[in-house]
Structure 1
Amino acid sequence: VNMDTGTRDFYIGLSLAVSSSIFIGSSFILKKKGLLKLSHRAGSGGFGYLKEWMWWAGLILMGIGEAANFVAYAFAPATLVTPLGALSVLFSAFLASKWLNEKLNILGKVGCLVCLLGSTFVVLHSPKEQEVKSLQDLQYRLADPGFISYSIVVLILSLTLIFFVGPRLGSTNPLIYVTITGTIGSLSVMGCKGLGVGIKEIIGGNTHELGNWFFWILLISVVFFISVQMVYLNKALDLFNTAVVTPMLYVVFTGCVILASGILYKEWSKLPAEDIVGNLCGFLTIISGIFLLQAFKDLNISLPHLSSMLYNDNNSNNNNINN
């Protein structure tokens, strides 16, 4: 069956996004195991993890995952690629239960299934076509007052958290470092998508884009933003449970990307109302699944335990009726 270019690109982007989540989910576990071996903690400002091979293995896996994610943005809309990052949360939660002794109870497993359901909704209802076809188009869109305002707010918020709030509350509140990582990450995604468009143009024969100053500004910006993300993601992972960090990061990061993408790339501008509602419902369903993973992670509850509780409740009710 022949597919048009837009549909083919959509499925290429989808495949890359899913494989990216598997690599990134695995990287969280390896990096966490590497950090746990250290005496000088990254959360206290140490960089001893740079000498730990397991941390580097995790970083390499994350690099592969991010590379796949980067290419995915060149083929598919950000409102499809980013929400599918929930699959990395599922994968890391599963591996954490096996390798980090972080328990995954029955509610966590239900949360995983709910996340998969939400991801399916996102895939079915997301935009199928790219709204930006060239770097020239992107350069024009960056002058949009809405995106300029968004970028200024993100930078002011991040600087405030880094220099004023983080030193006082960062070690007790995971949301501080997660917010820095997620908000800055939304800008790196916008840059990655632009770079992906530029690289597609170059591969397609428009080699003059290599001499375009805007292409190199995007590249430098992406490298800088990703470097900031890595520093504060390491701090968050070292100070807090993986099952806390990854779900919170997903919600903050994905929410910011959807907002930024809606402002800059107008990816929802041609979607019918039912697809917009379906996409939002999918995102909210994923958040619900992540909530189940996070909120009840410390409860020692299993399917046999639930059955036992129901059996005891029934016996208690029967005894009350007999009395």
Structure 2
Amino acid sequence: MRSSSSVLSFWTKKSEKATKNLAGCELKHIHVSSSMERRNGPDLQLQQLTTTTVPAQDSAFSYKDNLIGALLAIFGHLIISIALNVQKYSHIQLAGSKDTRSYFKTKIWWCGLLLLLLGELGVFSSYAFAPLSLIVPLSAVSVIASAIIGIIFIKEKWKPKDFLRRYILSFIGCALAIIGTYVLITFGPNSHEKMTGENIIRHLVSWTFLLYMLVEIIVFCFLLYFYKEKRVNYVVVILLLVAVLGSMTAVTVKAVAGMILVSIEGNIQLSYPIFYVMLVSMVATAIFQAEFLSQASQLYDSSLIASINYILSTTMAITAGATFYLDFRGADVLHICLFLLGCLIAFLGVFLITRNKKKLRAFEPYVSISSMPGLHNLHDKGSGIQPELGSFSYGALQSNDNLSEIYAPATLPVTQEEHGPQWAPSASYDIPDHNKRE
């Protein structure tokens, strides 16, 4: 009995000692864990702070890239506008020259060509920094600059009232275009990614872009059929063809410029086949785009072409940038709406600027019968003979003196007879064979 009680007391003391040891271990663990938390607390807070500040730094760098791209685009379009006006001035100085290529010998024309190349280089470089949807609408800068240069170097002398009434639409258009440009730059898309070969291939095979390409090809074939086969040569049809090609040109230009920039930074991208595919597509679409623009300029006024082409090309390019490069990924609805509002204001400004330009009448040579003494009237009510020389459409920079002899107005050399009174001359006329009607 005593032995059993001693055994029980032994195990009771043992359990109490084990309980004390366990409690001590728990207290020690709690103390160590609390000390570790105190020691690692600032590090964890610093790590959380750095993780929260990294997006802000990336956002700052992306806005910086947007600013660089926008400034390059504005600089490029401004230089292009100055270059075109310099070349136009060279052509005007040589108006009436018999040598149709005499402008090649002038320093002014070559200076304009160098400025044009510099401007194109600036616009090309801007695509490597900023999103496509931000760069394309900035082509309104060239329209604004051309309008301002035209007003400053105007030859006519107007009274202040007439001047303001004549150019009030241009002033309003320039103001609206500048406001729209500022708004779309401020609220433009802010998505940035490296233009590597893998990223471009990934965008190229995405279902959104494949669906967009399918719709674009169908629309292009539809328009081309009506333009070529049905002879539907409305200005909207031709410029829609230009806009569809221009959207692909913008996509390929950004890909090529971005891959060149990444290669300059050290990650060589020129070994990817997609770079050369994009380069060939860029050149091909640009050539066909220029061809359709040339055909449109032969049929319609240049101011009408400038406004409609800017609106359609910008809309198609923004759509292509949103589907291929996902320019508006992560943007909120307010920024997207304000960006579109800036585009609409710029569209209205460009329309008003081009609306105010004078329309040049095409020169059509004719011979007035009333100015030919001694020649009987061939028509009862006809006042002139219109030679069947086809359609004459001359640019503002071309001179009518450069026409060949075949396409010149019909001239009737007058030969005075030596005999007879001086007050009754008799004239004989020789009409060249190529100007005879029958």
Partner Cα separation in structure 2 for residue 18 and residue 140 of structure 1: 31
Q: 1:175, 1:96 → 2: CA distance? A: 27
Higher helix share: 1
Residue matched to 2:124:
70
1:166–1:121: structure 2 CA closer, same or farther, 3 Å change rule?
Answer: farther
Separation (CA, whole Å) in 1 of partners of 2:196 and 2:349:
37
Partner of 2:262, secondary structure, is helix
Question: Which stretch of the first structure deviates more once superposed, 2-11 or 112-121?
Answer: 2-11
* 2:175 paired with 1:113: yes
Partner of 1:179: 240
Residues 253 and 59 (structure 1), Cα distance of their counterparts in 2 relative to 1, 3 Å cut: farther
The residue that corresponds to 2:270 in the other structure is 210
Pick closer, same or farther for the CA change 1:62–1:236 going to 2, 3 Å: farther
1:214 positional shift: 0.8
Cα 1:253–1:34 change in 2 (3 A) is farther
Tell me the CA shift for residue 14 of structure 1.
1.3
Q: Larger Rg: 1 or 2?
A: 2
- Which deviates the most, 181-190 or 93-102? 93-102
Report SS of the residue matched to 1:269: coil
**SS of 2:190's equivalent?**
coil
Superposition TM-score, scaled by structure 1 size: 0.75
Change over 3 Å in CA distance of 1:117–1:58 after alignment to 2: same
- CA contact 1:189–1:257 (8 Å) conserved in 2: yes
Does residue 202 of structure 2 align to residue 137 of structure 1? no
1:207-246 equivalent positions in 2, closer than 5 A: 207=268, 209-246=269-306
* Aligned partner of 2:254 among 193, 200, 203: 193
Contact 1:178 1:233 survives alignment (8 Å): yes
Secondary structure of the corresponding residue to residue 74 of structure 1: coil
Matched residue SS, 2:128: helix
CA contact (8 A) 1:183 1:253 kept: yes
For 1:89, the aligned partner's letter is V
Gaps in structure 1 of 5+ consecutive residues: 39-48, 300-323
Q: Is the 8 A contact 1:105 1:297 kept in 2?
A: no
Asked which structure has the greater RCO (Cα within 8 Å, sep 6+), the reply is: 1
Cα deviation 1:251-307 (Å, max 9, x = unaligned): 0111001111111111111112221111011011111212322445569xxxxxxxx
Aligned length in residues: 286
**Structure 2 matches for 1:1-323, cutoff 5 A?**
4-26=60-82, 29=85, 53=104, 61-96=115-150, 105-162=167-224, 164-165=226-227, 168-170=231-233, 173-207=234-268, 209-295=269-355, 297=357
- Checking the alignment, whether the CA contact within 8 Å between 2:306 and 2:354 is kept in structure 1 is no
RMSD across aligned C-alpha pairs, in angstroms? 3.5
**In structure 1, how many angstroms separate the alpha carbons of the residues matched to 2:302 and 2:225?**
24
Q: Is the 8 A contact 2:197 2:272 kept in 1?
A: no
| d(CA) in 2 for partners of 1:22, 1:190 | 22
Scaled by the length of structure 2, what TM-score is found? 0.57
